[in-house]
Structure 1
Amino acid sequence: MSTTRNLAAGQQALPVTLDDIVRAQERIGPSIVRTPTLHSRTLSDLTGAEVYLKFENLQFTAAYKERGALNRLLTLTEDQKARGVIAASAGNHAQGLAYHGARLGLPVTIVMPRPTPTVKVIQTEGHGATVVLHGEKFEDAYGHALALAQEQGLTFVHPFDEPDIIAGQGTIALEMLEDAPEIDTLVVPIGGGGLISGISVAARTLRPDMQIVGVQAALYPSMYDHIKGTHFPCDGDTLAEGIAVKEPGLLTRRFVEANVDDIVLVDERALEQAVSVLLQIEKTVVEGGGAAGLAALLSHPGMFTGRKVGLILSGGNIDTRLLANVLLRDLARSGRLARLRIRLQDRPGTLFHVSRIFDEQAVNILELSHQRIFTNLPAKGLTLDVECETRDAGHLERLILALRDAGFDVSPVEAA
């Protein structure tokens, strides 16, 4: 594995040390879940690496973000605690800060963009935070939060670009390496870079030979661009919205330059596959950003073959309807769910003959749709769309061959 680390950057003193992370662990330990690190035999067989999973989606707010948020809250002065804190976030940072702020009796204000889904607003308010909706984009909310912090004397808590936040996130690596000391490679999602910054300090100090690889969604390669000198655009509707950051932190990029060996990109299909695989194999719900590490193993297998890889399942906050779509799309791509378009003559008994072939091939029909009007077929022709369930891609192919052998013109309707 080739390194992209800047050794000169590594020689400069970084504002977070292993001691800072150990102290953070002592502070937050009694109030966060010490999530398990477990070996996955099935994922190991699937990827060719020995895979260890850190289940941060089992935190109370279903994401690792509460580690850094709590550490920052516990380092506030008494005056800062009395005045309260403010943050700009529509995601896991908001949840973690709101939950632990309420638990500690601190006033918390969260500024969210106006288009933030109502469920996220309700969840954040449910943790006792005051939610302010402002602007159309995160950048608008961020600027407004800074202005309110100045006007009201609140302490602004950045989601990733603060030493105390980074130290809190680094406690994950302490737990992982204690529970699975055989790990020799860590694959870590990157949004703003707070998670990989903290993890890299702990891992690089305890195990200087550790391979540390960052993962970004291909639609948002902000840290990749900075490190690699590329100029890919950062835009689009990604499944991994939790790591969809257009500009990496000024502080976190220093940690990445010094400690991270490489960064890889994963596309949307790989992210969807990883979310689906984790649910089917590990029976655990993981959001797009949290599945990015596994997506990297599936997309770049040659980088990790034979290595002992630790993956952080960083969060599990995914909309249930979106999760359902991801699972159905994955079933379609694997051939277990299919839609076939069959050209028929509009005669009595034709549908019976088609159904008989499905029965002979033991294929379950889920839905039928006839089209007689909006088609370029002759007036006595029609198309029949059949949504069906098969065992696998081979089973589907046998069904298609049987239909064609019976004289039917059939074609699959491709999944996205």
Structure 2
Amino acid sequence: MPQSYVKRILDARIYDVAVETPLDRARLMSARLNNQVLLKREDLQPVFSFKIRGAYNKLRLLSEEQRQNGVIAASAGNHAQGLALSAQEMGVKATIVMPRTTPAIKVDAVRARGARVVLHGDTYDEASAHAQALVGEKGLTYIHPYDDPDVIAGQGTVALEVLRQHPGQIDAVFVPVGGGGLCAGMAAYIKYVRPETKVFAVEPEDAACLKAALDKKRRVTLPHVGIFADGVAVAQIGKETYRVLKDTVDGVITANTDEMCAAIKDIFEDTRSITEPAGALALAGLKKYVEENGCEGQTLVAVASGANTNFDRLRYISERTEIGEKREAILAVTIAEKAGSYKKFCKDLGKRNITEFNYRFADEHEARIFVGVQVSPDHNDRREMVQELRDKGYQVVDMTDNEAAKLHIRHMVGGHAPLVDNEQVLRFEFPERPGALFNFLAKLAGRWNISMFHYRNHGSAYGRVLVGMQVPKAERREMKQFLDDLGYGYWDETENEAYQFFLG
């Protein structure tokens, strides 16, 4: 099967708009990992993403009639910009349907390329459905972002360049996966030309649609998709991309939000460029591969796939980086409520640096503190520190991997509320746009008393909220039905140890 794509990739004349991007040695990362790490710099494309390759290749192969009628796509980001620039270059009218949640910087970028923008719905699926309706209505040609052989072939030119730029041995190539277009094109080419080179797909832990499909041996739809890495936030792998990938990839590696944030910092330190979360995903997978396999002296390639991120997201990324690099541990510690206890705790930590400290008086006997402590990237260092503190008589809960603690509770530590009963704690994600928080509250209004609320804008397409509601036991089933009907992603955090420790 790979050979059927090789000719398509070799015939993909994309360089009227795309550029051949460099394959740069990541000097600092190579030294740190004891392997030669090479970054394929697709963040340097004219639209700061590889997507321009597939979009232009598809457009180039349309009939004259199709070009005259115009094209349409649904996209909140990189595909939209790639198609808009390609259409502008070829004199084709392009319509891009984008969710209303799309940040203004991306909407403006698409319009600047000459495309007509239609804002519709809150999600990609709603935008896509509207785009499909316009196909029949206006006689437009739909340009799929990934599930199309011509688009896949265009993306596959990345692999063609990598193998030409580094004719020596390449042990493994790491490729980010959303719908799978880039990985399918690259894997098909690499496995035909250099079958000894391993190809690993890398997905976010909370959007691993390819891994789910390979596990089940069929395409599945994820019930919920994490949205931090919006460029790869796809619920189901493409039909054609799955057909290719199931026979060509050597494995799937998943990375969490903190690991992606750390990889963004790694790329910045080596290149002084800031990738988007999806753009750093492949490097996060590469680092995990080295850690789990203990390999040294190998040549490893990661695709830095894009750099379209909002500036105001950098604060959140920076906050999570130290944890992602495993250089910070987040702990909940019980100390005595008396003078000198904090000083003693610092002494018992030894020479470790405290990065964060939150505390509020709770009772006369015990104090519960939320503390960040600097540790070495070695997994054992964190475990040893926790055990050392426990050996010295402290009650310690390691919350380094607790999402509610990192997103919300670290900003809320304020003590318990003994007068609040029947409190149910829910964590929500909802589409972020002007008025979104008001609309969210309006839907909750009048149902149950809100006893706790924390909202923080992270500069992304989704808002994140932690809510406490007083719900009598007899009404819990009704509450669950209401939440399911609400249509927002939510998690029940009532039993979360961070909530129980500081606020419950």
Instruction: Answer yes or no: is 1:326 the counterpart of 2:317.
Output: yes
The two structures, once aligned, show a CA RMSD in angstroms of 3.9
Q: Which aligned runs of 4 or more in structure 1 are off by greater than 6 angstroms?
A: 230-233, 336-347, 350-354, 365-370, 380-393, 409-413
Partner of residue 315, structure 1: 306
Contact 2:332 2:397 survives alignment (8 Å): yes
Partner of residue 214, structure 1: 201
1:228 to 194, 202, 215: 215
Contact 1:22 1:171 survives alignment (8 Å): yes
Q: Are residues 392 and 56 of structure 1, via their aligned partners in 2, closer, same or farther at CA, if it must alter by over 3 Å?
A: closer
* Structure 1, unpaired ranges of 5+: 1-8, 401-408
Q: Are residues 256 and 383 of structure 1, via their aligned partners in 2, closer, same or farther at CA, if it must alter by over 3 Å?
A: closer
Partner of residue 11, structure 2: 23
Instruction: Find the aligned partners of 1:69 and 1:323 in 2 and give their Cα distance.
Output: 29
Partner of residue 234, structure 2: 245
Match of 1:328, SS?
A: helix
Provide TM-score, normalisation by structure 2: 0.65
Q: Are residues 50 and 304 of structure 1, via their aligned partners in 2, closer, same or farther at CA, if it must alter by over 3 Å?
A: farther
Instruction: Find the aligned partners of 1:343 and 1:253 in 2 and give their Cα distance.
Output: 53
Contact 2:81 2:113 survives alignment (8 Å): yes
Identical-residue share of aligned pairs (%): 32
Contact 1:221 1:265 survives alignment (8 Å): no
1:69 to 46, 55, 80: 55
How far off is 1:62 after superposition?
1.0
Contact 1:329 1:415 survives alignment (8 Å): no
Contact 1:53 1:311 survives alignment (8 Å): yes
How far off is 1:110 after superposition?
0.8
Q: Are residues 386 and 274 of structure 1, via their aligned partners in 2, closer, same or farther at CA, if it must alter by over 3 Å?
A: closer
Instruction: Find the aligned partners of 1:102 and 1:33 in 2 and give their Cα distance.
Output: 16
Deviates more, 1:118-127 or 1:62-71: 118-127
Partner of residue 6, structure 1: none
Instruction: Find the aligned partners of 2:94 and 2:113 in 1 and give their Cα distance.
Output: 10
* Structure 2, unpaired ranges of 5+: 387-393, 402-504
Residues 171-320 of structure 1 mapped to structure 2, 5 A cutoff: 171-182=157-168, 183-229=170-216, 234=222, 235-258=224-247, 260-268=248-256, 269-301=258-290, 302-303=292-293, 305=295, 306-320=297-311
How far off is 1:312 after superposition?
0.7
Contact 2:55 2:82 survives alignment (8 Å): yes
Instruction: Find the aligned partners of 2:125 and 2:293 in 1 and give their Cα distance.
Output: 35
Aligned length: 391
Q: Counterpart amino acid of 1:33?
A: V
Residues 90-109 of structure 1 mapped to structure 2, 5 A cutoff: 90-109=76-95
Instruction: Answer yes or no: is 1:166 the counterpart of 2:163.
Output: no
Q: Are residues 153 and 197 of structure 1, via their aligned partners in 2, closer, same or farther at CA, if it must alter by over 3 Å?
A: same
Match of 1:90, SS?
A: coil
How far off is 1:352 after superposition?
13
Instruction: Find the aligned partners of 1:293 and 1:66 in 2 and give their Cα distance.
Output: 19
Q: Counterpart amino acid of 1:273?
A: A
Residues 29-178 of structure 1 mapped to structure 2, 5 A cutoff: 29-178=15-164
Deviates more, 1:28-37 or 1:167-176: 28-37
Structure 1 residues 349-406: Cα deviation after superposition (integer angstroms, max 9, x where no partner): x89989x99xxx897x99987745xx2x23x99888888999999xx9xxx9xxxxxx
The structure showing larger relative contact order (alpha-carbon pairs under 8 Å, at least 6 residues apart) is 1
